[in-house]
Every structure is written in C-alpha cells, then in structure tokens.
Amino acid sequence: RTSWRRWEGIALWIQEPLLKPSNWKIANSALEWWSNITTLPGIPKKGIRSLALLIMWIIWNERNARIFNRRESSFCSILGKIKEEVAAWIAAGARPLAAFV
C-alpha cells in the first residue's frame, strides 16, 4: 500500500496518469510488470526506465529505513529525494529524464 501511494503521488507530480498503479495492466511476473510500465505509449523509453529505476531504489531505501532503523519519511520527503536524484542524474548526463521535470 505504501509503495502504491508513492507511485500514485509520483504519477501526479510528473503528470503521467499511465504511471498510476490503478492504470497498470495486470502482470504475472516482475519482468512483465517492468515491461508494462516502461513501454507506455508516448513516453520516452529511456527516460521512463531511468525514472522507474530511481523510484524503485528510493522506495526500497525507504522500506529498509522503516524496517531496520524504525525511521519513517513523509511522502513529501520521499518526493523531494526523488526530485533531487532526478536533477542529479540529469546533471550527470541522463538527458531523457528531463522530459519528466
């Protein structure tokens, strides 16, 4: 549920309704899910793949902080981390990400 809400908020931030979990196709495997969310019509494939990896990494780190360190970050804090990372990746040369900010 927490990840679901994070993805919902991120979809709103980048104004891409197809990234909302409620709009995802049903997938039978992680690979199928990955393919479904990274091959959306009208969205640059390289950019969405980079963004999806970045989101998953930050959500995973948040999960670990909750479980192992008993630290919980607000959605605003997590979204801020994602925005910072997106900016850093763009500065490092990940130009396809620029389509989302």
Can you give the residue range of the structural domain that contains 56? 2-100
CA pair distance 48, 54, nearest whole angstrom: 10
Q: What is the pTM assigned to this prediction? A: 0.84
Query: Of 49, 65, 69, which Cα lies nearest the Cα of 2?
Result: 65
Mean pLDDT of 38-59: 90
Tell me the per-residue pLDDT of 23-42, one tens digit each, with 9 for 90 and over.
999 999 999 999 998 998 88
Angle value at C-alpha 98, between 93 and 100, nearest 5 degrees: 145
CB 16 within 8 A of CB 43: yes
Sign of CA dihedral 69, 75, 78, 80: negative
Name the pLDDT band for 56 (thresholds 50, 70, 90): very high
CA distance 45 to 19: 13
Please give the tally of structural domains in the chain: 1
Mean pLDDT (whole number) for 43-69? 92
> How far is it, in rounded angstroms, from Cα 94 to Cα 35?
20
